[in-house]
Structures are given as C-alpha cells and as structure tokens.
Chain A
Amino acid sequence: MGAAESTERRVALVGNPNTGKTTLFNRLTGLRHKTSNFPGTTLDARVGRLSIGAGDHAVPVELVDLPGVYSLELRQLESEVALGVIEGRSAPVGEAAFEPQAVLVVVDATNLGRNLLLVGETLRRRLPTVVAVNMADLAAKQGLHVDAAVLRERLGCAVVLISARAGEGIDELRSALHEAVTVGAVPTRTPPGDEAALGAWAEEIVVSATSGSGELIGRTFTDRADLVLTHPVLGVLAFAGIMTGLFLSVFWLAQYPMGWIEVLFGGMGSALDWAWDGLGLRVGPLHDLLKDGVIAGVGSTLVFLPQICLLFFLICLLEDTGYLARAAFVMDRALRPFGLPGHSFVPLLSSHACALPGIIAARCIPDSRQRLATILVAPFMTCSARLPVYVLLTGLLFKDSPVTAALAFVGCYALGIGAGVLSALLARRTILRGQSRPMALELPTYKRPSLRNAVLATADRAMVFLKKAGTAILAICIVLWWMGSYPKAEPSAQVVALREQVKLVESGAATAWNLNDPAKLAELAKLDEPTRKKAIVEELTALADHLEHREAKSASLMGVMGRTLEPVFRPLGYDWQLTVGVLASFAAREVFVSTMSVVIAGQEEGDDEAANQTIRQELASATRSDGVTRVFSPAACWSLLVFYVLAMQCLPTLVLTSKESGHIKWAVLQFVWMTAVAYGGALLAYNLARFSGLS
C-alpha cells in the first residue's frame, strides 16, 4: 500500500505503445485532465477524472495514464514508473501514492499475442483488472474475430471489445470499470511467471480466442506503402516532400492568426493609452512598463503560438497515421553517423517552431546519451523567434533581391541544422561517448488520424509553451524594459536647444530653424505659412524625441553594459548599439528588432506600415559614433546573421535543458558551446565579408 490513501478511486491505464491508449484516455476523460510529471523524471503523467456508474451508484474515478510499455519488468524508466504506480509506490507529482483500485489494460486486437504478455504481467499483480481489446473494428475489417467470452474465461478477468476511435464499447467498458472498482474482484487466473512460459500461455490464448483470416502479411496497404516510404531513395524523397509540405503549410497558414495577434496587441496598446488618458493619469514609467514591458512582452510570446500550435497539430496527425515511425526509420540512416538515433528527428523537427516543446519531445529517445545529445543541440535548429531577425537582416542585405534573400533564409536553416548535427557528433565522440543503442522500433499499421487526439495534444503542448515561455519571457521583457529605462539621463544641450526652438517656432518668434535636411527644407518652403509652421514643429519635436530616446538608452543600464562590452563584440563588427541589441537578445531573441528600433530609430515598429518603413530606412542608414560607418554595414549584417543562427539566446530553453538533463552543468555547457560557436562563426563571416569588399 502507498504512503497515503485517498478517498478517490484510482485506475491505472496501461498498455503497449500504439494500442490506442491515448485515444481511450481522451475518450473517457475528455478535457478533464491535467498533465504533470512522474516524480524525479521527465515523463509526462496525465491524470483525468471521470464518473462511472449511474445515479446513486456513480463513482468518481481518477484515471492515471501510464507510459506505453512492452513489459513491466524491463530496466527502462517507463517500465519502472508504470510498475511503481501499479504497486502504489509512486504517483504523478501532486497526487498521493497508493495502490490503484483497478488496472485497465489496453490491448490491440490486431496484435493480441504480443499484447497478452503485458496482460499476463499485470494479472500477476492480483489487482482487479479490466482488459480493453481496442481496434476491434479494425480487426473485424481484416477478417479477424476475437471472442471476448473465451478471453474472459482464459484470463479470469473482465474483457471488453472496444473501438476507442469510433467510441464503440465504451459504455460496456465503463460498466466493467465500475464493477472492478466497487466489487474489487481479483483475477481468477494466475499466468505463469517465467518469461518463456508466459509467451507460450499468450500464444495458446490467442489460438483459442481468435479465428478468421486476418491480414495477409506483405499484401496489406501498410506493406505496400512501406515499400515506398521506407525505401532508401524513395523514402528519403517522400520524407523531404512531406516535411517541405508541412513547413510550407505552417508558415502559410500561421501568418493570418499571427497578423491578428499583432493587431490585437497593437489595439491593446492604444486602449491602454485611451484608458490612461481617460483616468487622467500622467504618462510616465508605469504607463511605459505596461505598454512596452507587459503588453509587448505578452505579445512577443503569443505571436509565435499559431506557428507552434500548427506545427504540433500536423506532427500529431502524422504521428497518428503511423508515418512518423517510418520517418524515424528513414532518418535513422541519416542521423546515425552523427551519433543520433532516428528518434531524434521529431524533437529536432519540433525545435524549428520552438526549442521548448522540441526538448520535451526528446523524452521519447530510449538511450540517455542520445537523448542528452539531442537536447543539447536542439536550440541550433532555427526557431520562430529567430525569423524576425532573419527578415530584418536579409532585408537589409538583399533589399532589391527577394530571391537571394529567400536563399539566404534557407541557408540559415541549413547552417543551423549542420551546426547541430556536427555538434552532436562532437559530443558523442567526447563527453557523451559510448555505444549507441541500436534501433528497435515498432512500425504501427497506417490508419486514419484522429483530429480529436491531435487537437487535445496540441492544446497540451500550447499550454506548456505558454506556461514555460510565456511567464519567463514576460519577466524578461519587464527586466529588460527597466534596464533600458533607468537610470534616466538629463536631456543634452542639443535636445534642450531643439525644444527651445520648437517653443520659439510655435510662438512665432523664430523664423529660422535647425533642420539639416536640404530636401526637407525645400519641401517646407513650398507650403503656406500655417502648414509650414506646423510641419516644422512636428519635425523638430520628432528630432528632439529621437535624440532624447537615444541618449536615454545610451545612459541606461543597458546602454552602459553595451558600451562596456563593446570591445568584446567589436571584432565581430558591432558597435555599442548592436552590442545592446545582442545582449538584450541573450535573454530572448525576439527582443532584438524592437531593441534596435528603439536604440537607433527612437521608436518601435507598430501597425503603421509607412512608419515601419521609415524605421527600417533609419536602421539601414544609421551610423556609428564616427558619423560615417554604418551600424548595419553588409559585413556586420552577415556577422549578425551567422551569430543569430548559432547563438544560444533563450533563457527559457536553458532552464528547460537544466531540468530535462537533470543538472545545470548541461545548460551551462550548452550556453558556452553555442556562444563560442556563434562568436567564431560570426568572426569568420565578418572577416570573409570584409575580405570580399563588403565592409
């Protein structure tokens, strides 16, 4: 018995992988579940609540979804966790540990022989057991008939034929569960304990409980499809095609909700201004914190949510079809030379949306060294947060050549992937040396994916992203805002003079003005007097605001850090302004563009495209303190591009690496290695660009 007993009835849900356990769990609990971990591990633990029985006999039950296992007696984390929960020694974080009142074992009707091994091991635990024979509809289509009555008699426990996907047999299952938790009858048969005898026992039961023709090995759709999808050449081509389609779909579809989110947060900023005005409050630090810290911070996280959700939704659908196992199979050949298994492909793919869910997905990798290597290199994959930086820099580099800009974009992806796999190879040859665990992977039959499962899984992942990234990035934006706002600087003499000029022009006392732009002056000369005065006042005010912002940024803690660390980044072609942007990005990449906009242009990009164009033009033409060298020179842009492809600039990812790897030293190593590679790469890029005359 576990340490503490609860009044709630617990049912442990166990089964082989690919038996439809998740579908059944979702069918029984719907959205009434929460996801946590098993103590001391990074395995997902889902706990759902449901009520079984009718009327006065209804019983509330807690259903604990255990990891898919082939056996309870393997020396694997999943098996140990499953066994721990069944024996009452362990429970998901936040739940009391006690022996479950019943065990629900899900088996695959089309693969009964193998599944009965786990049933046998579970029956030996002498707990009330219900066996759900899932995919009974699929078996029937194959001409395979499973006799539940014979199974019931041979196993000595309740057996129900179900189709979790179609919802068939669920009521009978709930009745069987109700009886198991209320009556609590233990199985009447005890399977043999010896492994070989258990195998023979399972075979015997299958022979007696099944009949019909079954599927014809080699003739099924699965076999036909596998001829192509696992072929050394066609399989790779199919894989490339499917992945390209996946990414194009994500980026094409996600742009719409991303645009809506940007408009929403722009509107929230305007609503804040309106409310502030309405309340008669002074526009000061608190207003700026709410607008530039909180709203901008939340917005900068939520804007990536559509891409992450879409990518995960499509990955879940692919996984449900059975294709991802084939992709892992195909990629195993490609990744094994780098010390990574085929299983690494899904985490690395997911990291292209965001490294956080990608690192979590690495839990599926059985070998611990390979899992750690995957976690360490996942941030090399170009994530969504890097895209605004790529867009800015490729736009500055290839203003008039969108095709070349697109190629550079693709090159960034390739550079990230290349750096990742090479780093994995280095790690596997040095600090994570050891024999790789050879691949043994079940390839499930192809089937139609479940939209419901995909939606629920995506919602789970989205919550993980929001909780982990959202809270951390919001905190980072608030801290960065403060560091960029204080200490305050007194306005310089130039700013004071400009403000004085504005007053003089407004009062009509000044007829000359301090504008150095001949084109602008010529334009103003054409206007009539009142309009010209208004335009001059606006121009001078904008100039004064711009200068004041820049001076404020320069005097702030962030600016001081930028100027102090400028010598470190000077070899890469960065001045203090770029250094400020890079330093701010070490906490969260997405702040680079807004930081540079504020530091250089004195304002952030907003909804006004014309204003945004002006900001981009200012960035393109901005000069350093010498007044001559461009801040965003071509060489500096190449250097920045390479730096951002390779650098570790995401605090939430470092935190998660530390958690998933079990020790902060791996997060430190990840940060140091990626920063070193980024610095070296950027240095090389800058010097190559200068050498080719692109200074």
Chain B
Amino acid sequence: MVLRLNLIDAIVGCLNGLFAMNTTPPSTSLPQVVRHDCASDPCHCAGAAERAGAEGAGGAGLRSVAKPSQAVALCALKTGQTGVIAESNLSEDDGKLLRAMGLSPGRRVVMCRTGEPCIVAVVSGHHHAEVGGADAQGCRCAARIGLARPLAEKIMVSVGASGEPTRGV
C-alpha cells in the first residue's frame, strides 16, 4: 500500500510538472499542518505558526517567520499551505452560503488542491490542526470544499509573515 501510494505520488508529481498546474514537488504535495500544543499555550494562529516554525526548524520545508501575517487570496495558497480566513468580498448570497458551509472568518483552511476549481479543507474545532497523534484538545474535523476561482479569489486568508507559506513537517 505504501509503495503503491508513493508511486501515485510520483506519477501525480510528474504530471503536475508536465502540465505546470502545481510546481510543488511530490514530497511536499500533501497538505502539511502546523503542530502546536495549544493546551499549554493558547494563542493567535499567526503567533502559533511562528512558534511552531521555531520549534520545528529542523524539519523539511519549514521556514521561520518574523513579521505579522499577511492576507492573501485563498486561491493564492499553495498545496499544503494553511491559512486563517480573514474576510471576504463575496456577494451577500454567496458569502452567506460559504459561511454556512464552514468558510467563516477565523476558520483555519488547508489547501488540498490548487487549480480551477480548488479544494480546501476547512478545519473546525480548534485554531490549530495537528499532525500525527497529537494530544491537544479540539476536533480535527474537516470538510473538503471544491471552490471555483471567482469565489476563492474573493476570500482573504492570513498566512505566515513575509508572504511565505507556513509549513510544517
């Protein structure tokens, strides 16, 4: 199973490279999320991302952040990148529907697949999602939503400082 899944990753990565849909290398093509022990240090997401970045500095792909988070369009997130929904410029009806579907301000989202439409996972239950059997509180519940670009580009999310993606191991 592991070998088969790695083969799939390789094929997908090659095709992605061939069609220039997503330049993220296969090894980081799966969504990664920040690990943070919120039970001991509840904090704002961006700050948590900084601390997590400092903690996991030895891990692959993790960058330390120095400045406050920036707001970017949801569709600008790369695969695996997380963000927190800040605001949206949607019409009343679209905004209400998406908020009812879970895309409301303060919610953490993980970009699962970029493109048109894109797929985002909306994490509920806690400000931070965990990787690997973390014992922090909160629900790791997620809903996956396919969003067309006209919607995704109107939803602004806060990411790590300096416009860099916030990654974890």
Find out whether A and B make contact in their complex, taking CB atoms under 8 A apart as touching. Answer: yes
Where the two chains meet, the residues of A that have a C-beta atom closer than 8 Å to any C-beta of B are 70-71, 73-76, 110-114, 117-118, 142-144, 195-196, 199-200, 202-203, 206-207, 210-219, 222-224, 226-228, 230-234, 325, 329, 332-333, 438-445
- Closest-CB distance, A114 to chain B (whole angstroms): 4
Chain B residues with CB under 8 Å of A234's CB are 11-12, 15
Q: In this assembly, does B117 line the interface, its C-beta being within 8 Å of a C-beta of chain A?
A: yes
| B15 in contact with A112 (CB, 8 Å) | no
Chain B residues with CB under 8 Å of A206's CB are 124-125, 138-139, 141
Q: In this assembly, does B77 line the interface, its C-beta being within 8 Å of a C-beta of chain A?
A: no
- Closest-CB distance, A267 to chain B (whole angstroms): 51
| A73 in contact with B96 (CB, 8 Å) | yes
A214-B139, A231-B12, A440-B148 known; A111-B124 Cβ under 8 A: yes
| A218 in contact with B146 (CB, 8 Å) | no
Cβ-closest chain B residue relative to A439: B148
Chain A residues with CB under 8 Å of B9's CB are 227
| B33 in contact with A217 (CB, 8 Å) | yes
Q: List 18 A-B contacts (CB under 8 A).
A: A110-B141, A111-B124, A200-B106, A207-B139, A213-B130, A214-B130, A214-B141, A216-B131, A216-B140, A218-B121, A223-B30, A231-B15, A233-B15, A233-B19, A441-B117, A442-B146, A443-B119, A443-B145
| B110 in contact with A224 (CB, 8 Å) | no
- Closest-CB distance, B24 to chain A (whole angstroms): 12
Interface core residue of B11, B117, B149 (most chain A CB under 10 Å): B117
Chain A residues with CB under 8 Å of B141's CB are 110-114, 144, 206, 210, 214
- A243 vs B48: C-alpha distance when bound (angstroms): 46
- A687 vs B130: C-alpha distance when bound (angstroms): 68
Binds A, one of B50-58, B63-71, B97-105, B158-166: B97-105
- A442 vs B147: C-alpha distance when bound (angstroms): 9
| A112 in contact with B139 (CB, 8 Å) | yes
Q: Chain B 102-124, CB within 8 Å of chain A: the 1/0 string?
A: 10111000101101110101111
Chain B residues with CB under 8 Å of A144's CB are 139-141
Chain A residues with CB under 8 Å of B80's CB are 218
Q: Which 5 A-B pairs have the closest CB atoms?
A: A214-B140, A113-B124, A218-B31, A438-B148, A70-B100
Q: In this assembly, does B169 line the interface, its C-beta being within 8 Å of a C-beta of chain A?
A: no
| B145 in contact with A441 (CB, 8 Å) | yes
Cβ-closest chain B residue relative to A231: B12
- A144 vs B140: C-alpha distance when bound (angstroms): 8
Cβ-closest chain B residue relative to A441: B146
How many pairs, one residue from A and one from B, have CB atoms within 8 Å of each other in the complex?
182
Number of B residues contacting the other chain (C-beta, 8 Å)? Answer: 62
Report which of A213, A217, A219, A227 forms a contact with B12, defined as CB distance below 8 A: A227
| A438 in contact with B12 (CB, 8 Å) | no
Given contacts A200-B106, A223-B112, 13 further A-B contacts (CB under 8 A): A111-B143, A112-B141, A114-B102, A206-B125, A206-B138, A214-B141, A215-B140, A226-B113, A230-B113, A231-B15, A232-B19, A325-B146, A440-B148
Cβ-closest chain A residue relative to B9: A227
- A285 vs B127: C-alpha distance when bound (angstroms): 79
Cβ-closest chain A residue relative to B117: A439
Q: In this assembly, does B32 line the interface, its C-beta being within 8 Å of a C-beta of chain A?
A: yes
Q: In this assembly, does B142 line the interface, its C-beta being within 8 Å of a C-beta of chain A?
A: yes
| B133 in contact with A213 (CB, 8 Å) | yes
Chain B residues with CB under 8 Å of A210's CB are 125, 138-139, 141
A74-B96, A226-B112, A233-B15 known; A440-B142 Cβ under 8 A: no
| A442 in contact with B145 (CB, 8 Å) | yes
Chain B residues with CB under 8 Å of A213's CB are 130, 133-135, 140
Chain B residues with CB under 8 Å of A438's CB are 94, 147-151
| A332 in contact with B148 (CB, 8 Å) | yes
Cβ-closest chain B residue relative to A72: B100
| B31 in contact with A70 (CB, 8 Å) | no
- Closest-CB distance, B151 to chain A (whole angstroms): 5
| A112 in contact with B124 (CB, 8 Å) | yes
Cβ-closest chain B residue relative to A75: B93
Report which of A114, A211, A231, A443 forms a contact with B146, defined as CB distance below 8 A: A443
Report which of A76, A112, A211 forms a contact with B137, defined as CB distance below 8 A: A211
- A222 vs B110: C-alpha distance when bound (angstroms): 14
- Closest-CB distance, B159 to chain A (whole angstroms): 16
- A215 vs B112: C-alpha distance when bound (angstroms): 14
| B119 in contact with A216 (CB, 8 Å) | no
- A234 vs B11: C-alpha distance when bound (angstroms): 9
- A225 vs B33: C-alpha distance when bound (angstroms): 19
| B12 in contact with A228 (CB, 8 Å) | yes
- Closest-CB distance, B139 to chain A (whole angstroms): 4
Q: In this assembly, does B129 line the interface, its C-beta being within 8 Å of a C-beta of chain A?
A: yes
Q: Chain B 57-98, CB within 8 Å of chain A: the 1/0 string?
A: 000000000000000000000001000000000000110111
- A211 vs B139: C-alpha distance when bound (angstroms): 6
| A199 in contact with B104 (CB, 8 Å) | yes
- Closest-CB distance, B100 to chain A (whole angstroms): 4
- A219 vs B29: C-alpha distance when bound (angstroms): 11
Cβ-closest chain B residue relative to A208: B137
Q: In this assembly, does B8 line the interface, its C-beta being within 8 Å of a C-beta of chain A?
A: yes
- Closest-CB distance, A136 to chain B (whole angstroms): 13
- Closest-CB distance, B30 to chain A (whole angstroms): 4
- A211 vs B129: C-alpha distance when bound (angstroms): 13
Cβ-closest chain B residue relative to A202: B124
- A216 vs B147: C-alpha distance when bound (angstroms): 21
Chain A residues with CB under 8 Å of B122's CB are 114
Chain A residues with CB under 8 Å of B19's CB are 232-233
| A196 in contact with B105 (CB, 8 Å) | yes
Q: In this assembly, does B21 line the interface, its C-beta being within 8 Å of a C-beta of chain A?
A: yes
Q: Chain B 8-46, CB within 8 Å of chain A: the 1/0 string?
A: 110110011001010000000111110000000000000
A112-B139, A213-B130, A217-B129 known; A440-B102 Cβ under 8 A: no
Cβ-closest chain A residue relative to B18: A233
Q: In this assembly, does B3 line the interface, its C-beta being within 8 Å of a C-beta of chain A?
A: no
A213-B134, A216-B131, A233-B15 known; A74-B148 Cβ under 8 A: no
- A440 vs B101: C-alpha distance when bound (angstroms): 9
Report which of B33, B94, B101 forms a contact with A218, defined as CB distance below 8 A: B33
Chain A residues with CB under 8 Å of B147's CB are 438-440
- A359 vs B106: C-alpha distance when bound (angstroms): 40
| A218 in contact with B30 (CB, 8 Å) | yes
- Closest-CB distance, A109 to chain B (whole angstroms): 8
Report which of B96, B104, B116, B132 forms a contact with A216, defined as CB distance below 8 A: B132
| A199 in contact with B106 (CB, 8 Å) | yes
Chain A residues with CB under 8 Å of B146's CB are 230, 325, 329, 332, 439-443
Chain B residues with CB under 8 Å of A232's CB are 15, 19, 21, 115
| A217 in contact with B121 (CB, 8 Å) | yes
- A117 vs B143: C-alpha distance when bound (angstroms): 14
| A226 in contact with B11 (CB, 8 Å) | no
- A252 vs B130: C-alpha distance when bound (angstroms): 48
| A74 in contact with B100 (CB, 8 Å) | yes
| A203 in contact with B124 (CB, 8 Å) | yes
Chain A residues with CB under 8 Å of B15's CB are 231-234
Cβ-closest chain A residue relative to B104: A199
| A113 in contact with B144 (CB, 8 Å) | no
- A288 vs B124: C-alpha distance when bound (angstroms): 68
- A441 vs B119: C-alpha distance when bound (angstroms): 9
Cβ-closest chain B residue relative to A118: B100
